[in-house]
Amino acid sequence: MPVSLLQLIETRLSDHSPQRKLLRKLRKRSAVAMILRVREGELHILMIKRAEREGDPWSGHMAFPGGRMDKVDDHGYAVALRETSEEIGVDLEAAGNCIGRLSDINARPQRGIFGMTVTPFVFRLEEEVACEPNYEVAEVVWIPLEFLLDTDNRDEMVWEYKGLKMPMPCYFYGKRCIWGLSLVMLDELMDLVEGRNPLRPAWRR
């Protein structure tokens, strides 16, 4: 089952036409790595919990390894490789393969008017790796994909923003809350696996 699920994802990604956001050239760019690996007989996806840092809008959030494009990066794929190496010490080119990418997501601007465009790249690991988190990462977590596909595990949280309280979909994996941009990426990946699910509504696409 886990290998066939991974093969299904690879097949669906090869036929997938990810969306590229308008005005992406005017926005700041970033990229993340969504890393899949069969572990202990089950397909898992790697997530990180970001360290609590003042001034970081995603401080303490569950996320995927990644970050902003620097002048040394030729494209988003290079960003995903570099940031994964820096944040968790994993060389994706040596230990795995990129099997596709998902749609661009626009993050709300922290300043200015254009905000940031985030591009997710999906990788499969061919071997077990030892993660060595840097100061930006509090924890590396492998989450079973079956847990995320089970809509009974879908939950809700309240996000407070500029005095407003808004209910948001999420997953609680232990005490870890998965929501926001990371959930958007996961939802697109899960839609590729099983199609749109009414219990997993398209809340931000």
pLDDT digits (tens, 9 = 90+) for 116-143: 899 999 999 999 999 999 999 999 999 9
Please give the share of the chain, as a percent, with pLDDT higher than 70: 91
Question: Which residues make beta-bridge pairs with 107?
Answer: 116
Secondary structure (H, E, C), 35-80: EEEEECCEEEEEEEEECCCCCCCCCCCEECCEEECCCCCCCHHHHH
Instruction: Report the alpha-carbon angle 21-24-30, nearest 5.
Output: 100
**Which of 93-102, 141-150, 155-164, 165-174 is predicted least confidently?**
155-164
The pLDDT value recorded for residue 28 is 87
With bands split at pLDDT 50, 70 and 90, how would you rate the model's confidence at 176? very high
Mean pLDDT value across the chain: 90
Cα gap 121→104, rounded to integer Å? 10
pTM here is 0.92
Helix, strand or coil, per DSSP, at residue 32: strand
Closest CA to 86 of 104, 68, 59: 68
With bands split at pLDDT 50, 70 and 90, how would you rate the model's confidence at 9? very high
The pLDDT value recorded for residue 113 is 60
State the average pLDDT over residues 1-16: 91
What is the Rg, in whole angstroms, of the alpha carbon atoms belonging to the chain?
16
Give the CA count within 13 Å in the CB-facing half-sphere of 133: 15
With bands split at pLDDT 50, 70 and 90, how would you rate the model's confidence at 3? confident
Q: Is the pLDDT confidence value at 33 over 60? A: yes
pLDDT digits (tens, 9 = 90+) for 53-64: 776 666 789 999
What residue ranges define each of the domains in the chain, with the CATH number in brackets? 2-150+179-194 (3.90.79.10)
Pairing of strands 62-63, 176-178: unpaired
